Structure 1
Amino acid sequence: MSSFTPEQLFATQKAAYDSLFGLTFKAFEGFEKLIQLNVQVIKSTLAENQEVVGKALAAKDPQGLFALQTPPTAEKLQSYWRHVSEIVTSTQGEFTAVSEGHFKQSQHDVQTFVDSLAKNAPAGSEALVSAWKSAIGTASDTANSAYDAAKKAAKQVVEIAESNVSAASSASTALAKNAVARTTATTEKK
């Protein structure tokens, strides 16, 4: 009457381990991308700082020093956070796809198990089988609803975070542009 053979149980366990290791590798790939992004940012920042210091040391007078334009830091910061957001969103999307697949497979396995029980149930147990099917159906519907709600909530959190990063970087860009304009106006008056 058992619907799981040792081979099926072994295959299920192997699939679970493969999935776990696959997700672990995806997490490390995302982490590796973040590290590469940070290394790239550090290298470019060092090169830009070297250039600015070289120009500052070559300035002949204070006006030449004030005339040096600083790189648009706010725009670079916005670009950096956009890249971080893309990496995190991509990794989260891969996790979501895998978990969604497992969720659907689990539902299918439970339904197959219940159908197997119903098919092999002894005569007179139709009421018990019907109760099991009803309970499994209700649990499945509840799980689907909870999963959909969690998926929507996670999507909203990502959208809000992206919106906040965009708004903060836009405000920073505006402040930086105003500061540069004021500094330029001040040096031009002198």
Structure 2
Amino acid sequence: MTQWSPEQFSKVQLAGIETLAGLTGKAFEGFEKLLELNLQTTKTALAETREGAKKVLSAKDGKEFAELQIEFFQPAVDNVLAYRRQLHDILADMQAEFEKVVEVQYTTSKGQLQGLIDSAVSNAPTGSTAPLAAWQEAVKATTTFYESMQTTAKQAVQVAESSFNTAAEAASKSMPHRAAKASHVAAK
């Protein structure tokens, strides 16, 4: 059977360290973007809340009060949806970067494992081919299972994202309708 040389072992360890450093860097980049988004969103929300409160509190009557409240809440809904889209973009970028690394690592490991199995099979003593063939089949079954689970997980994420986007759009579209209804009730 083929033995790993110290150079091969060192090369694999160095590749693992480089991968970890790259992933850590990407995680920090994503964290920085997320922090910037949260800070900007908080600043904007505080400024808009202050201005909206001033307007609402200066209302002359109930109708104007209701209209100003509605005017205040519509941008808030839009801001929440904008925040959600930006958050999604940041997280999607991070996920894509991590998936690239995982895919490369998976492909590399799969190739190395297959090379090890092929080497073991070609150097196996007579009579040991049956256990090695069973081992090969187990590895193939595990690989197939992993790949099908990966596909299923990606599909589930897409369905959840689509459902959330549909709900967010419906909420955004219903806000003007609710505002008009509330304004009509306040006018009575």
Bin for the TM-score computed over the shorter chain: 0.7 to 0.9
Which shifted more, 14-23 or 66-75?
66-75
1:86 has 2:89 as partner: yes
What's the CA shift string for 1:47-90, capped at 9, x where partnerless?
21122233335545554433321242323222222222222222
1:109 has 2:108 as partner: no
CA distance in 2, matches of 1:114, 1:67: 73
What's the secondary structure of 1:67's corresponding residue? helix
What's the secondary structure of 2:128's corresponding residue? helix
Letter aligned with residue 83 of structure 1: Q
Which shifted more, 168-177 or 9-18?
168-177
Q: Is the 8 A contact 1:78 1:165 kept in 2?
A: no
Q: TM-score, normalised by structure 1?
A: 0.80
Q: Is the 8 A contact 1:118 1:129 kept in 2?
A: yes
Letter aligned with residue 21 of structure 1: A
CA distance in 2, matches of 1:15, 1:5: 16
Quick one: percent identity of the two aligned structures? 32
Report the counterpart of residue 185 of structure 1 in structure 2: 184
Letter aligned with residue 72 of structure 2: T
Report the counterpart of residue 95 of structure 1 in structure 2: 98
* 1:1-190 mapped onto 2 (5 Å cutoff): 2-68=2-68, 69-72=71-74, 73-117=76-120, 121=123, 125-128=125-128, 131-132=131-132, 134-187=133-186, 189=187
Task: Specify every segment of 5 or more residues in structure 2 that has no aligned partner in the other structure, as ranges.
Answer: none
User: Over aligned residues, Cα RMSD in angstroms?
Assistant: 2.6
Letter aligned with residue 103 of structure 1: Y
Distance 1:117 1:138, change over 3 A: closer
